């Protein structure tokens, strides 16, 4: 699992001081979301948005991710994970809806740092709001590979991957 941010990096909730317009990751839908939708989602409590930045440049967004609550049907839970979730028709989950790194910072393991933070926040909130799994909907095969390399299990014939919350807590603690 990913390491914690170094002392010069920080991950904080999206705020007014963050330069959303200056962020570019190379994926138009992810860029557009941060620039035009993220602020509304935070105000409406539709998504929690967390940004990665440098202590010395607090306005610059190096990356971001979103968290929100969702549910999936029991049938979507992989067999190996079913022992870790309740047998309800719908399973409460935390969705990592988006995760993006600025184009000039890609390849520096910042995505792994953001993912570790997302897993830790999901795990810590699970006892308050009830969440049995973490879910991601990868944009493409490369993104699915990233999540699989971090312990997520891919659902058949889809770009959706899941991780039992117990595993997310163990991974976030490393």
Domain of 114, in residue numbers: 9-169
Residue 174: inside a domain: no
Residue 1: inside a domain: no
pLDDT (tens digit, 9 = 90+) per residue, 83-126? 666 676 788 899 999 999 999 999 999 999 999 999 999 999 99
Residue 4: inside a domain: no
Residue 38: inside a domain: yes
Instruction: Enumerate residue ranges in the chain where pLDDT < 70.
Output: 1-7, 78, 80-86, 88, 171-174
3-state secondary structure 43-105: HHCCCEEEEEEECCECCCCCEEEEEEEEEEEHHHCCHHHHHHCCCCCEEEEEEEEEEEECHHH
Angle at 125 between CA 77 and CA 123, to 5 degrees: 55
Residue 2: inside a domain: no
Does the CA dihedral 134-137-139-141 come out positive or negative? positive
- Residue 62 maps to which CATH number? 3.40.630.30
Number of domain units in the chain:
1
Residue 3: inside a domain: no
CA distance 56 to 64: 17
Can you give the pTM of this predicted structure? 0.89
């Amino acid at each position: 699992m990913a390491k914690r941010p170094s002392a010069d990096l920080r991950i904080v909730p999206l705020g007014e001081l963050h330069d959303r317009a200056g962020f570019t990751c190379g994926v138009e839908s992810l860029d557009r979301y941060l620039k035009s939708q993220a602020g509304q989602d935070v105000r409406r409590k539709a998504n929690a948005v967390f940004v990665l930045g440098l202590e010395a440049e607090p306005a610059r967004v190096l990356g971001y991710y979103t968290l929100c609550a969702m549910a999936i049907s029991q049938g979507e839970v992989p067999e190996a994970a079913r022992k870790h979730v309740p047998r309800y028709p719908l399973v409460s989950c935390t969705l990592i809806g988006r995760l993006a790194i600025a184009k000039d910072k890609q390849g520096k393991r910042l995505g792994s740092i953001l993912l570790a933070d997302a897993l830790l926040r999901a795990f810590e909130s699970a006892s308050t709001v009830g969440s049995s799994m973490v879910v991601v909907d990868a944009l493409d095969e490369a993104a699915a590979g990233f999540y699989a390399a971090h312990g997520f299990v891919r659902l058949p014939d889809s770009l959706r991957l899941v991780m039992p919350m117990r595993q997310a807590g163990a991974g976030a603690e490393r």
